[in-house]
A and B are shown apart, each in its own frame.
Chain A
Amino acid sequence: MNNKITDQRAWLLVLPATFLVVFSSLIPFIAIVNYSFQIVFNMHNHSFIGWSTFHDALTNDEFRSALGRQVLFTASVLAIEVPLGIGVALTMPRSGRAVGPVLVVLALPLLVPWNVVGLIWQIFARADIGLFGAFVNNVLHINYNYATGTFSAWFTVVLMSVWHWTSLIALLCYAGLCAIPGAFYQAARIDGASRWAMFRFIELPKLRGVLTIAILLRFVYSFKVYAEPLQVTGGGPGTSTTFMTEMLTNTAIGQFAYGKAAAYGLLYFLIILLISYVFYIVLTRVGTSEGGE
């Protein structure tokens, strides 16, 4: 990686891509920054109001409670999906005829459109027409209805996320595990290492790179979650499963409060960037300080 040649003509190669990013990201971004300082009545009538939209966002209950729910959701799904994904990766066959079908089945939930993921869980978890909902209510005799119970709604939304995304972590870790040379395991076996010791001192350090990507991607995507919970719970009961994107969409399209939505959006984006950055630094540091590689 460090034997790169310095050549400014390389800019010509990145120029087309840069133009597209300017078009699809920078220009809209400038528009958002512009709106965030204004109160917008309509496209021809808006006035500058300075920092008050940001002040509003930071003190506003709508924004803060959505952010709180978002953090709780992301923390829950990461806490379940990361260990489960590593576990699934460890159980996957490394060779033989089963490999292909197992990989295809695991990848399947990732390629289901997000609203259809919501639809699948909507009809699976309903008490009247859903297999899971009927099972919990009629066989386990637990009162479960995601449309009326806050706990039921959260349980459904988190379980759905586990169904949807654990495979991503499992597939990444599986690729990492497959890249470990067999000699490492043989050496460990000769030393009489336990299964746990093998995992802790051989597999986990080797997984650091892919786990960093996996956790970052899962953090970012869970923080942007929208269509799946919306389809199942509609953000309810009340606002109990209304997460950041839905709150933002409601503000922008439902209330036409462009200035407020722009300020919310900017803060939302900054929070994601900041946490991603911290994650990245921590995850890459942790591995090296333990001398994993």
Chain B
Amino acid sequence: MTVRRIGLTLFILFLLIPIYWLVVMSFKSNTEITTQLTFFPNHWTLVHYDDIFSSGKWTGSFLHSLSYVVINVAITLPLAIPAAYAFSRYDFLADKHLFFWFLTNLMAPPAVFLIPYFQLYHSIHLFDTVFAVALAHTLFNLPLAVWILEGFMSGVPREIDETAYLDGYSLPRFFIKIFIPLIGSGIGVAAFFCFMFSWIELLLANTLTSSNAMPFATMMSSAFTASGTNWGILAASGTLSIIPGILVIWFVRDRIASGFSLGRV
């Protein structure tokens, strides 16, 4: 029992110490960062956070990132829910092939799609908008959501559907009144994963935007300049970028274990 506890504690320390180092660095002055190694800041300072919050470019980029993530979830879920229902309940022409084709997009390396995306979003005049990134991220989020939701829906006995239809429910009414509440946790888990994969993705978000919809991650690279690196502001922005993740985990903390198994235990 104690061996287990020591092992787990060591692993948790391994996870937390690098994050601690990032957070604590964000409260040090740049001279302190570069001249001495301190486990606690000698002088706590909020100057880096002040720099970020007083700059429209920094706060704007944070909002861009949040908006494309939210738009992505809002596009993905309404399309994924009916599709997942069809896959979990019906046999139809080419259903297996279609499902597999959806899943291959989960495996596709986004780098492969860089050039055509660049041209595609230019030609439909969405380049450098948050919508371009939101749509681009559906490449992997839509198949992921369909996969997760199909797992959760297959866990709901289909007798429930049949009873409802016998009671005279139409498909849309059955969906809204009965089925959606039943798979609520599955939808929550799918939304969590879509949020997560859109929030942490960098390559497409970076390629499909320039100045008007610049994501937070791209903004961060501006801290590396020819005259040196502003480590303090990097650490502070890195710390801020972790906060949405922590909030989202906090909301799903009760379902996190079943959630990560994608409803397939």
User: Residues of A within 8 Å of B, CB-based: how many?
Assistant: 95
Using CB atoms and an 8 Å cutoff, list the residues of chain B in contact with chain A. Answer: 4-5, 7-8, 11-12, 14-19, 21-22, 25, 33-34, 37, 39, 75, 78-80, 82-83, 85-87, 89-93, 95, 98, 101-102, 104-117, 119-120, 135-136, 138-139, 142-143, 146, 154, 158, 196, 199-203, 207, 216-217, 220-221, 231, 234-235, 238, 241-242, 244-246, 248-250, 253-254, 256-258, 260-262, 264-265
Contacts of A14 in B (CB 8 A): 82-83, 86-87, 98
Query: Do A129 and B146 touch across chains, with their CB atoms under 8 A apart?
Result: no
Contacts of A166 in B (CB 8 A): 11
Partner of B249 from A7, A107, A276 at Cβ < 8 Å: A107
Query: Do B89 and A4 touch across chains, with their CB atoms under 8 A apart?
Result: yes
A104 within 8 A of B: yes
Contacts of A227 in B (CB 8 A): 202-203, 217
Query: Do A17 and B82 touch across chains, with their CB atoms under 8 A apart?
Result: yes
Measured CA separation A55–B117 after assembly (Å): 25
Main SS class of interface, A: helix
A83 within 8 A of B: no
Q: Given A1-B154, A20-B142, A265-B111, check contact A210 B217 (CB 8 Å).
A: no
Query: Do A111 and B21 touch across chains, with their CB atoms under 8 A apart?
Result: no
A147 within 8 A of B: no
Main SS class of interface, B: helix
Query: Do A113 and B200 touch across chains, with their CB atoms under 8 A apart?
Result: yes
Query: Do B107 and A276 touch across chains, with their CB atoms under 8 A apart?
Result: yes
Partner of A175 from B8, B17, B104, B260 at Cβ < 8 Å: B260
A245 within 8 A of B: yes
Query: Do B112 and A5 touch across chains, with their CB atoms under 8 A apart?
Result: no
Nearest-neighbour CB distance to chain A for B83, whole angstroms, equals 4
8 pairs of residues in contact across A and B, judged by CB atoms under 8 Å: A4-B90, A10-B89, A10-B91, A14-B98, A24-B138, A88-B7, A119-B238, A245-B111
Nearest-neighbour CB distance to chain A for B7, whole angstroms, equals 5
Query: Do B241 and A112 touch across chains, with their CB atoms under 8 A apart?
Result: yes
Partner of A268 from B37, B109, B235 at Cβ < 8 Å: B109
A115 within 8 A of B: yes
Query: Do B33 and A172 touch across chains, with their CB atoms under 8 A apart?
Result: no
